[in-house]
Each structure stands twice: as C-alpha cells, then as structure tokens.
Amino acid sequence: MWRCFVGVPVPARLRTDLGAVVGLWRAQGSAPDLRWTDPDDWHVTLAFHGATDSSAVPDLVSALRMVADATGAFRLRTGGVGAFPRPAAAHAIWYGVSDPDHRLTDLAARVQAAAMPPGPPARFHAHVTLARSRVRGGEPLGPWLAALEPPNGTLMVNALTLFRSHLTQGPARYEVLARLPLRGAGSGHG
C-alpha cells in the first residue's frame, strides 16, 4: 500500500524567499524547538488519499486528469503565519494562502470528490506546513508567532500533483507520481 496525496507545490521563487526567512527564524535564540519541514517538500495539500494500492494509481491519475482538464490555472496571494489548532497550543506552524474567491477550496473539493474514498469531505484550510511541534500537547507559541514577519508572495496553481509519501525515521520523503497541468478554459490572477 502506498500513502498518497494530491497537492500544489510551492513555486521556486516563493520557496526561496520563504526559505530565507524561515532560516532566520530557526537561527533565532528564542526559536522554539520545532521539527521544520524541508523547503523542497513545501506544498498545499488538496486531498489526502491515504493508503492506496499501487494498482489503483492509474485510475486515480485518470480521475485527477478529468479535474485538471476542466480547471483553468489561477494565482493566489500568500502570506501570514499561524498555528493549528491555535497558537496557544500549536501542533503545526503554517504559512497562509489567501483564497478570497474560494477557487482553491472549490478545487480541493473537486479533487476530494474525484480522488478520495466515499465519505464526508475533509475540512480544507489553504496553507503550507512549515513546522510541527515536538511536544505532544502542542506548544504555546502565540507571542513568538506574532513577532514573525513572513514574506508575501504568489502561489501559481497550474497543475495537480499526485505524491507518494515515504515515511522514514526522519521527515517524510515525497515522490511525484503524476503532474497534471490545469488545462480548463480561462485563468485567474486573483
């Protein structure tokens, strides 16, 4: 069984800009002891498929291709940081993606409908996970987060990427199984 998910990778320029700032945050003497994610793996998850039989991947790719063929590329603004479930008990630190017209939310819903096993849709919050707490109950990071100044940027949503997640002793490693360009009519520049 393969562990699969569908996402939108962070483009190179934003990854470089954000990576430089995250590097400064990590070097601060007051930085919390977090497990930071690898900038090369930064992405926005649209749907987590979970345990997937490798023989089902071609059908999964076909379903995602139908969504990609019906969707035009669009651009979203990025910026801000926060924490799940909340800054006072942070389990994960995130970088925000602004989705005022709900285009990414709608795309995530269509990807989930096409690629996920039947059931209620997963709640979607557009973000890039930057770090995770090492503390089981989360950490109180409100003041530290409030002092951070993340860069603003742009996320170009122009393809769906099907990833396989390889779990190891260290951070997970992601393998691209398929990249499906968005080919639908129209494009947005939101």
d(CA 128, CA 17): 14
Return the pLDDT at 185. Answer: 63
pTM of this prediction?
A: 0.91
Q: Which fold has domain 2-181?
A: Cyclic Phosphodiesterase; Chain: A, (3.90.1140)
Mean per-residue pLDDT over the chain, rounded? 91
The predicted-structure confidence for 73-87, as pLDDT tens digits, reads as follows: 999 999 999 999 999
Cα four-point dihedral sign 45, 46, 50, 52: negative
In the predicted model, is pLDDT for residue 190 greater than 50? no
3-state secondary structure 65-123: HHHHHCCCCEEEEEEEEEEECCHHHECEEEEEECCCCCHHHHHHHHHHHHHCCCCCCCC
In the predicted model, is pLDDT for residue 35 greater than 50? yes
Question: Where do the structural domains in the chain lie, given as residue ranges?
Answer: 2-181
Return the pLDDT at 189. Answer: 42
